[in-house]
Amino acid sequence: MGRAAGTRTKLFVAEGDGCKAVCPIAERSYRGATDVFTPYGFSGFAGTGDLSQLPDAWRAFAQGQGYVAGYIMQHPLAMPGRLAGAWPEMSDAGRTLYRVDLTVGEEERLRALSSKKRAQRLRKWLEAASIETDQARLAEAFMRLYPDLMSRRGAASVYRFSDDILRDLVRLPDTVLVGVCDAAGEVTSVAQMGIAPACGEYLFVAARETSSGDGDGLLWLGLRALADRGAPACNLGGGITEGDGLSDFKRRLGGEPVPIPVLRQIFDAPRYQALCQSAGCDPDKTDFFPAYYR
């Protein structure tokens, strides 16, 4: 993912007696100063054991690296419980993801949809769909369909993956592809789902232009696949912007809104103040962080 975004991506690791924490991070530079942030595709800290010393270890690492500031978005469904409240700087990012409970049966999930009519349409779609499960065939279709979909949507460069990255994505462990075919037997849409103990993830979708009506059903197949593999929940993600049509789609599919916490930290206060002053911005503003990038 770092290759696609063109960022310097690293993995922070902190280990102690019977405990371990990791966090993917990316670096960027501004007027000779370096700050750290959550790279595309990753979401904050994860770990096991007693993590009470993690905040101090993280700050010591960041200051040792010479970082001026840090902006880490934390996956709320994967955050170790011991981290809740550990950082006074952690607050609501003003963004939302949508969670589907997979511990309940499919009928209960259908009843959680936004309307009975939507549930009826989905049932009919599932009965009529030509479902493809062959992973090799789905991988080939995903690699073929994804670039065209991104072009049609005018997607930003961070979402436009090279063939090598697409090949790596479909080979990732702990993932499953689901898809459907048209009447001629050609795969028309594919979704990739990730599987983890804390929750499953809705990762990517690739589809032909004429398969626009498959959205609900394709994602439902992904939820089925995760439930069959024991995932307790699925993170559908959020919208591109808060409250947009994509957010609404995930909410209507039964997604429960969950706020995304974010860790905003200043590691070198004098330098941060100087950078904000040179950029002509208020260093105390937190609606955009670090403020000097505004």
What is the per-residue pLDDT across 237-268, written as a single tens digit (0 to 9) for each? Answer: 888 788 888 888 898 888 999 998 899 999 99
d(CA 172, CA 176): 9
Q: Is the pLDDT of residue 190 over 60?
A: yes
CB within 8 Å of 45: residues ≥ 6 apart: 21, 22, 23, 54, 58, 72, 74, 79, 80, 83
Q: Is the pLDDT of residue 191 over 80?
A: yes
Give bridge partners of residue 27 from the DSSP assignment. 8, 36
For residue 242, the model assigns a pLDDT of 83
Positive or negative torsion for Cα 284, 92, 199, 205: negative
List the single range of 77-91, 101-115, 117-131, 166-180 with lowest mean pLDDT.
Answer: 77-91
Give the pair of three-digit tokens for residue 263: 């860790």
DSSP 3-state assignment of 96? Answer: strand
For residue 120, the model assigns a pLDDT of 92
For residue 284, the model assigns a pLDDT of 83
Q: What are phi and psi of 94, to 5 degrees?
A: 80, 10
Where residue 45 falls (left for φ over 0; alpha for ψ -120 to 50; beta otherwise) is beta
Read off the amino acid at residue 71.
Answer: Y
| Average pLDDT estimate for 110-133 | 91
pLDDT, mean over the chain: 90
| Average pLDDT estimate for 202-214 | 82
| Average pLDDT estimate for 98-117 | 91
The HSE-up count of residue 52 (CA atoms within 13 Å, CB side) is 2
CB within 8 Å of 21: residues ≥ 6 apart: 13, 14, 15, 45, 46, 47, 51, 54, 57, 80
Q: Is the pLDDT of residue 272 over 70?
A: yes
For residue 210, the model assigns a pLDDT of 67
For residue 67, the model assigns a pLDDT of 98
Contact 33, 68 (CB under 8 A): yes
DSSP 3-state assignment of 274? Answer: helix
For residue 103, the model assigns a pLDDT of 96
pLDDT band with cut points at 50, 70 and 90 for residue 213: low
Residues 145-155: tens digit of each pLDDT: 999 999 998 98
**DSSP for residue 214:** G
Neighbours of 168 (CB within 10 A): 13
Percent of the chain with pLDDT over 70: 94
Neighbours of 286 (CB within 10 A): 13
Residues 38-75: tens digit of each pLDDT: 998 778 998 888 888 899 999 999 999 999 999 999 98
Q: What are phi and psi of 228, to 5 degrees?
A: -65, -25
| Average pLDDT estimate for 216-235 | 95
| Average pLDDT estimate for 205-234 | 89
For residue 13, the model assigns a pLDDT of 97
For residue 212, the model assigns a pLDDT of 59
Give bridge partners of residue 263 from the DSSP assignment. 72, 90
Q: Burial, 269: exposed, middle or buried (Cβ in 10 Å; 0-12, 13-18, 19+)?
A: exposed
DSSP 3-state assignment of 278? Answer: helix
pLDDT band with cut points at 50, 70 and 90 for residue 173: very high
Q: Is the pLDDT of residue 96 over 60?
A: yes
- From residue 95, alpha-carbon distances to 6, 40, 179, 200 in Å are 24, 15, 29, 19
Instruction: Report strand pairing: 46-48 vs 19-30.
Output: antiparallel
Ordered domains of the chain (ranges, CATH)? 2-94+260-293 (3.40.630), 103-231 (3.40.630.30)
Question: Which residue shows structure tokens 């905003």?
Answer: 264
